[in-house]
Structure 1
């Protein structure tokens, strides 16, 4: 500012001297310059005096901080007033301040120093220490980072780079079971267009929620979202859910580079961090149960929803309590559509993310839903029941499930999409199952046709097995030799017995007690 003021002063003085040389200088000119420069008219007239006539002003001696002053600034956590009291106590020979002795290393360093005022010390620290240095000793690393200046990466092309993050929302909601909780949000942001490509809300963050958000960001479904592409790079933090082996394997299969950022450096993925703040400011803060809102003198939240443990336990089942997590998911889905398609973004020159995405003509790398089915879905184990697979209050069926009642299978699903689930037996994909109440007429006819075909197939196999068993039990009399064992019993007169007689004869022949005695009522053997 001093250099700029000097340049302004030289320009103004040169112009006024030119006017005086031309004989047209007036007090109005001086007044105009004084108002523009922010000084008095007397000061401007003093500028126009010859150098010999100008009063000589001695510069104020400037105090330079010593190494002991800097150490004391760190010792007293940036409290310059406390530093000045300790310094003055040492110079006065007292050696104590605020009832405690000044540390020996400070007393030795200040020995023989000249006395200065508090204002002089404040001015010296303000001139010689940067705001980041001052904030580092007053607020710690968070203060230093807040005052620091960071490099900004150039925006990437659309769909080339993602930023992902987990965040526990400052909101109280009711899960399907249990007391109220604060849900976790997983977000995927496109680096080039700031578009919210994918998201997932869960009670606790898991690799399944990461898969859900990534699958939503990769899958291109024009009827659901205009976005969707496989990136080249993903920036993530050190969260355990992002470092899971299955997440790394899925991204590695698609040749996506995972850039795991250093810990405690949120500015390295500033776009997703800024989006989290936007979500809190424009959505979460307007919902009941927002825990970041104003509080009374006792620390309780204003409004109908409280965040204490007792309030969370008592909130379940009350109509004026927190909203259900399912309803919050619907609200967030509507907000995400608004953010992507209606909200202008300052860093996009006033464009909305969708417009920035469509204006970018960079080619996209797409992938089909059938390929993502095996990579980007959460997993759970279920047992096939008589009416199908029960999951999330719905029953899913498919023709391939017919005849598999009681079998243990693995299902893969998207936490916020109940339109279908994928069924696996071990590592083999069995089928795609759909909710019973949402089957189309074609799907219903296909299920019934498969059931009839399966019943016919099993019937044919059963009849084939019966015919084979009869052939095995038939008498072997092809060469005239009596069979070794014959299930036919002949009568004494050579006539064939009736079915009733055969049954009685076989029963008499086989009826023996545990003592090996033959039933006396049985007919004697021929």
Structure 2
């Protein structure tokens, strides 16, 4: 039976009062949001089911509902078919089925044995299922896959019982889709390469906001360029201290050779003294974070810091994220300073070999004195003109001067005694 009541001639036709077709609506998700569209699915499907029960459901109704819900006409027809078979499907149209394949803990262990090789894991899952039934290999949705007669052993000498028995075994496309859905990029990198690769994808929490001279960080960085030091082409090193709260570089030392405790002491003295030509930022910090380099943890450096009452925080090995402020400074110097200087020998893939790169005579190398002047000028620019995003439009020096925290100073004459190395003789 059909509904004998009069119906509006425009019902479901998408026409205005003059008989003209209405323009298609815009993206509903931009107007209502995805959560609202999902909530509107059930009322829309119930309305369409009611129209079907009355015999008044047309294709235009389904198309219009799909346009308003941000779904295709075919998807709406599928919702109606599922709702006709199950009341639960009518209450939550388009909801994911709970029976979908997911990556279990046993499969994660198998992925670790295979170093993240998804195809090898899937092949072994099929072989395990075929060996259990003693018949032909498990069939997947699609073409059948042949399995070698000998079951591939689990890497590392693990027993075959480590391979979980799945019934049924999902297809390779389903297995790969589950991997992309259930495993993070860090987990995939860790399975393939190791924990160091996984750590590059980790998100680390920020330390709470502090005040000036609460914590400094120090590090060495080698400039990827060649400079002329008394006729020899060398790669210079920079040692600097940076205040973590205000991002101001407090002290810098440049050396033509590999840095030592002497360069650390020189940078420390430049960081603490605030008289000309140093300062105005500086003073005595409460703690200094450094890596486990022999020069940083030498008795001379730790004694000098201890004499000034500074806490030394030696960080664990392979943990650059624990001193992210100075590591960010190293990266900024490479991109903003070193890359603009002649003799730069690094590229998108890192430093190039001196022999395989451009020859030393192709570009005149800076003298070591000129390179030092460039570094000090860039350091001054960083402190007085650069405006890091974390400082809300202020320069590091402005942030340091705006901090009301008292500064502890040490006289330059006393600092000489703190930074002298004892030769052990009376």
So what's the TM-score if we normalise by structure 1? 0.59
- Evaluate the alpha carbon distance shift between residue 96 and residue 300 of structure 1 in structure 2; reply closer, same or farther with a 3 A threshold: farther
Distance 1:33 1:217 in 2: 69
1:74 to 91, 112, 116: 112
| Contact 1:155–1:191 under 8 Å retained in 2 | no
2:416 to 366, 373, 382: 373
Structure 1: 5+ residue stretches without partners:
19-29, 380-409, 411-425, 428-526
* Equivalence map 1:6-17=2 (5 Å): 6-10=35-39
| Contact 1:96–1:102 under 8 Å retained in 2 | no
Match of 1:102 in 2: 153
| Contact 2:213–2:284 under 8 Å retained in 1 | yes
Distance 2:348 2:369 in 1: 26
Distance 1:248 1:117 in 2: 61
So what's the TM-score if we normalise by structure 2? 0.71
Distance 2:308 2:326 in 1: 23
Give the C-alpha shift of residue 275 in structure 1: 0.8
* Equivalence map 1:193-342=2 (5 Å): 193-202=246-255, 203-221=257-275, 224-293=278-347, 307-308=354-355, 315=360, 320-342=363-385
1:61 to 75, 93, 99: 99
Which one has a bigger Cα radius of gyration? Answer: 1
Distance 2:184 2:377 in 1: 45
Please say if 1:189 is aligned against 2:242: yes
Structure 2: 5+ residue stretches without partners:
1-32, 48-61, 132-136, 138-145
Distance 2:68 2:238 in 1: 53
* Equivalence map 1:113-512=2 (5 Å): 113-114=166-167, 115-176=169-230, 178=232, 180-202=233-255, 203-221=257-275, 224-293=278-347, 307-308=354-355, 315=360, 320-376=363-419
Distance 1:196 1:141 in 2: 33
* Farther-moved stretch of structure 1 (150-159 vs 252-261): 150-159
Distance 2:77 2:170 in 1: 35
| Contact 2:107–2:164 under 8 Å retained in 1 | no
Instruction: Work out the number of aligned pairs and report it.
Output: 359
- Evaluate the alpha carbon distance shift between residue 224 and residue 109 of structure 1 in structure 2; reply closer, same or farther with a 3 A threshold: closer
| Contact 1:161–1:234 under 8 Å retained in 2 | yes
Give the C-alpha shift of residue 291 in structure 1: 2.6
Give the C-alpha shift of residue 81 in structure 1: 2.1
Give the C-alpha shift of residue 219 in structure 1: 0.5
Residue by residue, what CA displacement relative to the aligned partner does 1:42-88 show, whole Å, maximum 9, x if unpaired?
76899899x76999478373223345422321122212123223333
- Evaluate the alpha carbon distance shift between residue 126 and residue 45 of structure 1 in structure 2; reply closer, same or farther with a 3 A threshold: closer
Please say if 1:85 is aligned against 2:123: yes
Residue by residue, what CA displacement relative to the aligned partner does 1:239-262 show, whole Å, maximum 9, x if unpaired?
101111111111111111101111
Distance 2:211 2:412 in 1: 23
Residue by residue, what CA displacement relative to the aligned partner does 1:197-229 show, whole Å, maximum 9, x if unpaired?
111121111111001111111111255432121
Distance 1:33 1:148 in 2: 42
Give the C-alpha shift of residue 172 in structure 1: 2.3
| Contact 2:241–2:252 under 8 Å retained in 1 | yes
Distance 2:43 2:324 in 1: 49
Residue by residue, what CA displacement relative to the aligned partner does 1:175-198 show, whole Å, maximum 9, x if unpaired?
2354x2322221101011001111
- Evaluate the alpha carbon distance shift between residue 84 and residue 339 of structure 1 in structure 2; reply closer, same or farther with a 3 A threshold: same
Q: Secondary structure at the match of 1:174?
A: strand
Distance 1:281 1:208 in 2: 27
